[in-house]
Amino acid sequence: MKKIFIYLFIFISTIIYAQEKPYESPLTSYKDNYFLLGNMEDQVKFQLSLKYNLFYPNSTGIYFAYTQLSHWYVYNDRDTFYTMYQPEIFYRFESGNNIFKNFIIPYVDYIQTSPFSHCSTGVEGNDHRSIGTYYGQIQLSIGEIYNFGINGKYFRYYEVADKNKDINDYKKNYEADLFFKLKSSEVEYLDKEELHFKFGGNPLNKGWYCIEGQIRIITSYIQPRLFIQYWHGYGEFMVNYNQKENNIRVGVIL
């Protein structure tokens, strides 16, 4: 069953990125899609994330999204599998691509709001964890080629499971992402490179931060990229949200 998840991840991601379509598909990537390898402690981590335009082909900005983040303890025949299931519905106003005659707000990439965003471990018993949130999010950036920006998200809880009642002590109500992207399609080998510094809560106490870098390794239509991720703090996975961890992994992002 676990191998099926991996094959499904590779198959869907390949379809999205490799097939040249004569139209814009209603099913597109949402958050990062990647597969990472760590050491004996960090283990394997991979994420699949897609969004669907609910009113395709109209650009209303209303989407249903699904993200699945998995931690696979595969080394030494441990074969333990933890997954976070994250469905949500959201509205995204994209500057220059919206129903308001493609109205542009300077320096704003998009504004996003969600009345329903759920995250759970999908199991019962001692490992059951879940939260339900609603949120507002905005991304600002500057620069057409050398793109600097920030993504900020503020959320509130409408449901918290008994097993993780104190989760806000670790996650708080906000997340942020400071990033640099090289976006020029004219740079042959340095196109779509990115560097991110993400954090939530108090990174120096009960919080977390994550440093990510990605660089293209193949010049092709698919453009897979080398992806390096370092995580420090609490809440990387909901099943052990109150345990502090330091993890570094390397893999491929599509």
Q: What is the pLDDT of residues 33-80, one digit of tens each?
A: 999 999 888 899 999 999 999 988 777 899 999 999 999 888 876 667
What contacts 4, CB < 8 A, 6 or more positions away? none
pTM exceeding 0.75: yes
Tokens 């080998």 found at = 189
Q: What is the pLDDT of residue 76?
A: 72
CA atoms within 13 A on the CB side of 201: 21
Predicted pLDDT of residue 18: 46
pLDDT at residue 10 tops 60: no
Fold classification of 50-67+84-253 (topology level): Outer membrane phospholipase (ompla); Chain C (2.40.230)
Task: Find the Cα–Cα–Cα–Cα dihedral 158, 150, 52, 35, rounded to 10°.
Answer: -100
What's the pLDDT score for residue 15?
47
DSSP per-residue letters across the chain: -HHHHHHHHHHHHHHHHH---SS--SEEE-S--EEEE--TTT-EEEEEEEEEETTTTS---EEEEEEEEEEEE-GGG--EEEEEEEEEEEEEEETTBSTTTT---TTEEEEEEEEEEEEE----GGG--EEEEEEEEEEEEE-SSEEEEEEEEEEEEEEE-GGGTTTHHHHTTEEEEEEEEE--TT-SSSSSEEEEEEEEE-TTSSEEEEEEEEEE-S-SSS--EEEEEEEEES-SSGGGTTS-EEEEEEEEE-
pLDDT value at residue 147: 93
Structure-derived torsion over alpha carbons of residues 47, 45, 171, 175, reported in degrees to the nearest 10: -50
pLDDT band of 83, cuts 50, 70, 90: very high
Domain limits of the chain? Answer: 50-67+84-253
